[in-house]
Structure 1
Amino acid sequence: MDERTVVAISAGLNQPSSSRMLTDRLAEATVAELEARGTRPTVETVELRDVAHDVVNMMLTGFSAGRLTEVLEKVAGADGLIAVSPLFSATYSGLFKSFVDILDRESLAGMPVLLGATGGTPRHSLALEHAMRPLFTYLRADVATTAVFAATDDWAGQGDEPSPLPTRIRRAGRELAEMVADRQSGGPADLYADVPSFDQMLGNL
C-alpha cells in the first residue's frame, strides 16, 4: 500500500478555534478518500500560532529556527496541503500570509492544495476566491476547485435545515485525494514548468 503525506495548516489564533476544527474535518475527509483508493495516508497538522514568533523572526532575519524549520521541511516534502485561515477584514489573517511569505517560492509548485476559511458570516466567503486562491495560484500550486468556507452558523445548521458544510467538506476532501493520487501515479511535478517567469521574459530587454 502506497504511503502519502498531507500537511494540514491551521492559522487559527484561539485554542480551540473554528479554523482548527475545519482543518481537522477536511483532513479526515481527505484521509477517508485516500484510504478508499488503497493509499495509506499520514496527516501532519500544524498550528501556526505555535510557531508565530519563529515566523516573525524569519521574516526579520531570513533564517528559520526551532520548530519552524521542521514545519517548513514538512510542507516542502508533502504530497498535498490543506491550508485554512480565519478571515479578518475580508481576507486571510496576517499570520497566515506571513507564513506563506517565508515559504520557499518553489516549495508549492505543482502541489495539490485544498483551501479553507472561517468567519462570522457568509458575507466573507468570497475571500477564498478573491484573496486565497490567487495567492496560491501565484505560487504555482495545483489548487482544488472546491474551497470550503465555514461561518459560525454552518457548524450547527439553520433551524430545521441541515448544514451543507459536511457535504462541501466531503466533496473537497474527495477532490484533494484525487489530485494527490494522480500526482503519485506520475502526475506532473509542476503544472507550470514550461511557463517562463517574468525575469526570463524580461531578460532579453
Structure 2
Amino acid sequence: MTRRIVVLSAGLSTPSSTRLLADRLAAATSAALLGRGEQSEVQVVELREHARDLADHLVTGFPNDALRPVLDAVAAADAVVAVTPVFSASYSGLFKTFVDVLDREALTGTPVLVAATGGTGRHSLVTEHAMRPLFTYLHAAVVPTAVFAAPEDWGATGTGAPLEARIERAAGELADAVAARPATVRADAFDDVPDFSALLKG
C-alpha cells in the first residue's frame, strides 16, 4: 500500500529556502521508505496559497472549498513534514494559523518531522522550543531529529555535509515511524450507505 506523505511549506516567497528544504526532506523520506520496501505519494502544500482561505476559516469557523481538501489530506496522511521560516524567534503566523484550524484530533499518533529555515543559526533551537511542543500538544509522534537550515548551511552539499546528514537522519527516522504503523485507510463517503443495486436488476 502506498504511504501518503503531506509536506507543509510555510515559505512566503517564490522560490524560498523553506520550500527548498521541504522538497529535500520529502525526497529523502520517499527514498528512505523505498529502502524499507514502502511506496510513497508526496503532496506538497504551499500554505501561502491558502492565506486568504485560512483567514476566512478563522472568521467563519468553516473551511471553504479550497481549504477543505488540504485539511482532509493532513488528517489522512501517514506522515507529515512541517517546515516554517523563523519569524520573531518562532514559527510564522501563517504556519500557526494553519495549525490553529486543524481538527484537534487530526494529527493524533501521526509521525511528524519538524523543520525550519532562518537567517541565522542563532534561531536553530526554534524547532525544539516552539515546533516540537506545538505538535506534541496535538498528540503527533514527532521524530527525534529536527532540521534547521541557515544560509551558511546551503553552501555545503553532498553526502556527509552537515545539513545533508541531518536531512538523511530525520528522513530515516520518519520512514521508520511510518513503516512501523498500519497504513491509514481513507474512508469512502458512501461506505455506510446500503447497497440497493440488486433491487434495480429486477
Q: Give the TM interval when normalised to the shorter protein.
A: 0.7 to 0.9
Q: Distance in 2 between matches of 1:40 and 1:108?
A: 21
Which residue of structure 1 lines up, in the alignment, with residue 83 of structure 2? 84
**Amino acid in structure 2 at the alignment position of 1:76:** A
Equivalences for residues 171-190 of structure 1 within 5 A: 171-184=169-182
Which residue of structure 2 lines up, in the alignment, with residue 134 of structure 1? 133
Equivalences for residues 1-205 of structure 1 within 5 A: 2-157=1-156, 163-184=161-182
Question: CA contact under 8 A between 2:78 and 2:183: conserved in structure 1?
Answer: no
* Secondary structure of 2:85 counterpart: strand
- TM-score, normalising length: structure 2: 0.87
| Aligned residues with identical type, % of pairs | 57
Deviation at 1:82, TM superposition (A): 0.2
Q: Distance in 2 between matches of 1:82 and 1:90?
A: 20
Q: After the TM superposition, list the runs of 4 or more consecutive aligned residues in structure 1 that deviate by more than 2 angstroms.
A: none
Question: CA contact under 8 A between 2:3 and 2:183: conserved in structure 1?
Answer: no
- TM-score, normalising length: structure 1: 0.86
Question: CA contact under 8 A between 1:156 and 1:163: conserved in structure 2?
Answer: no
Q: Distance in 2 between matches of 1:127 and 1:33?
A: 26
Q: Distance in 2 between matches of 1:26 and 1:185?
A: 20
CA RMSD of aligned residues (A): 1.5
**Amino acid in structure 2 at the alignment position of 1:32:** A
Deviation at 1:183, TM superposition (A): 1.0
Q: Distance in 2 between matches of 1:184 and 1:114?
A: 18
Q: Distance in 2 between matches of 1:30 and 1:74?
A: 18
Question: CA contact under 8 A between 1:155 and 1:163: conserved in structure 2?
Answer: no
Check 1:13–1:185 CA distance in 2 against 1; reply closer, same or farther (3 A cut).
closer
Aligned length: 182
**Amino acid in structure 2 at the alignment position of 1:51:** H
Q: Distance in 1 between matches of 2:43 and 2:14?
A: 18
Question: CA contact under 8 A between 1:75 and 1:81: conserved in structure 2?
Answer: yes
Deviation at 1:89, TM superposition (A): 1.0
* Secondary structure of 1:183 counterpart: coil
Question: CA contact under 8 A between 1:82 and 1:115: conserved in structure 2?
Answer: yes
- Structure 1: 5+ residue stretches without partners: 187-205
